[in-house]
Structure 1
Amino acid sequence: MNKVTVISASPSEKSRLNGILNYVNTYLEHADIELDVIEIRNLPAEDLIHANFSSEEIQEANNKIADSSFVVILTPIYKSSFSGLLKTYLDLLPQNSLDDKTILPISIGGTFGHLLMIDYALKPVLCALGATHILKGVFVLDSQVKKLGNHLFELEAEVKDRLNTSLNSLEIKSVSNIPI
């Protein structure tokens, strides 16, 4: 059975990135796969900041990635780059930990000026970790994810279509009808 690990670099439960995370998770839950999610903000902050490679929680997260065939990385864009939270976690991954994995990057930002962040900021870091099969990423504008309250979000239909296309490109077998 295929395994997918989703890494979320959302710093807050109220972030619009969580709307995308919820959509991705719902999509993947309807596939014949094992799904793991790493929400970096829930890892011990002290272990992240002090680069505690021996932390049990960090090792557990790293093992999820090691056991996966596919990794979906979600990040907000700040100052024309991916989040520092994501960089802090990626620094704790072992060398070549993304080797032989299919990577799908997904980002959210405030303007189209951030559109190329995946290609120019994130992909070089992923390549340094051994990634050789990085799919075309998905960029979503903040304005395309509406906050509904109570940690609920609504994505524009066009965003759902682009996410579906990218998630389909993971070539996960047996995706059933998705009620989204």
Structure 2
Amino acid sequence: MNETEIYGIYDSDFNLMFENAINMKASVFEGSKLMEHPIEDGSTKTDHKIILPVEIEIILWISEAHYKDTYSVIKQALYSDSSFQVNTRVGIYSNMILSEMPHEESPDQSGAIIITLSLKEAVIVTTQYQALTPRKVKDSKDTSTVNRGEQKPQKSDRTLLDVAAHAVGGYFGK
């Protein structure tokens, strides 16, 4: 974890969020995962890595005069699907989603409340679909029937009993 001074948490319109909370500390985790596979000789091979989503933990201090209102704003942000931008001294982290907001309350901190916000980067991926041409499909039965008109079922000479007997016979080696 990298600890750094935080400049602020902003919404998509670059409005400062939780303005009555004092940002005390941010811990930023940027990492990757190495993909390892076993080899026949017992060793492992690493052939590529995946970059993990950024995770940020922010500690906020909220004074007694503002903690009810600010707490409810943070709670709304937790249950919404809003993404935020976190600006720190060393970087700007976009598409951050608020995932947790644990806090403790005790008599010795009666004039304030400390909340730890956990944010995680949301990596949005758009998938694309493209149908294969009939020549590239392995089995002709699996080709698209669009633009081929009405298809009639094909008559089979095999009965359900024949199919079952063949399957069981193949299982017992006959």
The alignment's TM-score, normalised by the length of structure 1, stands at: 0.23
Q: Which has the higher helix share?
A: 1
Q: Which has the larger radius of gyration?
A: 2
Of the two structures, which has the highest relative contact order with CA contacts closer than 8 Å and spacing of 6 or more? 1
